[in-house]
Structure 1
């Protein structure tokens, strides 16, 4: 009986000594502050959010690449439209105008295909667990020397052993 009791008490101590996930995350964030801040001595922590699950999508990279391509098409359409306006102001020849008009049509078709692919990708955006996230609010001196408030979201790996990314809000 006493051996079981001693074993249970020892197990409770081991569990109690193990740091919680939130404590690990806070420790990682505070350690990152040493390299992130220009003046660590001015660091004044204000708040840590609760540790929360972070998710990404399995096709997120393809979705982002497709969005970047769509943005490029939109910029080109704007450029070609401006060139066609130049024709109306008699700044370019009719042949040049036809050339830009054809380019505009081709770019619109490409943009439509890109938008259709985006619609397909959005339907398949299934969340995949990627780790954890924690928001940290603090005051610290910036590079100019004035003390400012910062809100930073930290993304941690699934084992809470390293910071994957940080994003200042």
Structure 2
């Protein structure tokens, strides 16, 4: 009798487990529903592959209140480029360049430089310190950002006929809501 109960409980748990949907299967079902509404020829739809489903999280964006700092940073980068540096942008590493300018400013190098060059190096250092100031403000915001879970995402590759009747290979990244019941965002990969 114990064996019969054990076997029945085992079969029941297998049945329950097999009936519950995985996140991947939910996502694929939502994708099919999305394609029924959006593809030119749904009957030609043929799935090729899907990535694993992963969490979608918010991404850092520059807060509106830091836009003036970004503008100032861009202005200073332009001044630096006009002063003799080239290809400096707002992501350039100020720390390394400030260290290099400090080394050049040391007494051992100063003896070999003329007064104009010493003045130029001092001006560059002042610009780079100002650049670093605004860059640090922006990076502090970015580094303190805590991403939040906003749903799920999956990349799906498939073939389907286009409006002209030709079959195309497509790859799309889908973003779903937290419960994986609807498509929130679509981005074509290829």
TM-score (norm 2): 0.55
Describe the shift of the 1:41–1:8 C-alpha distance in structure 2 as closer, same or farther (beyond 3 A): closer
Larger radius of gyration between Structure 1 and Structure 2: 2
Name the SS of the counterpart of 1:127 in structure 2: coil
| Aligned-pair CA distance for 1:119 | 2.6
Structure 2, unaligned stretches of length 5 or more?
75-130
Gaps of 5+ in 1: 75-111
What does residue range 29-48 of structure 1 map to in structure 2 within 5 Å? 29-48=31-50
**Other-structure match for 1:146:** 166
Match of residue 80 from structure 1: none
| Matched-pair contact (CA < 8 Å) for 1:66–1:118 | no
The count of residues paired between Structure 1 and Structure 2 equals 129
Which residue of 1 is the match for residue 26 of structure 2?
24
Structure 1 pair 138–67 and aligned structure 2 pair: CA distance change class (3 A): farther
Alignment correspondent of 2:96: none
In the TM superposition, what whole-angstrom CA distance separates every residue of 1:96-143 from its partner, at most 9, and x where no partner exists?
xxxxxxxxxxxxxxxx89866543321123222222111011122223
Q: Structure 2 vs 1, CA of residues 114 and 160 (structure 1 numbering), >3 Å: closer, same or farther?
A: farther
Secondary structure at the counterpart of residue 58 of structure 2: strand
Q: Is the 8 A contact 1:66 1:114 kept in 2?
A: no
Secondary structure of the residue that 1:165 maps to in structure 2?
strand
Superposed CA offset, 1:7-33 (max 9, x none) = 332122111222222111111111111
Q: In the superposition, relative to structure 1, how do residues 141 and 13 fare at CA in structure 2: closer, same or farther (>3 Å)?
A: same
Q: 8 Å contact 1:152–1:166 — kept in the other structure?
A: yes
Which residue, out of 55, 58, 75, partners 1:56? 58
Using the size of structure 1 for normalisation, the TM-score is 0.61
Query: Which residue does 1:105 correspond to in 2?
Result: none
Spell out structure 1 runs of 4+ moving beyond 4 A: 64-71, 112-117
C-alpha displacement at 1:65, in angstroms?
A: 5.5
Q: Give the SS at the match of 1:135.
A: strand
Greater per-residue helix proportion: 1
Task: Report the RMSD for the aligned CA atoms in angstroms.
Answer: 3.1
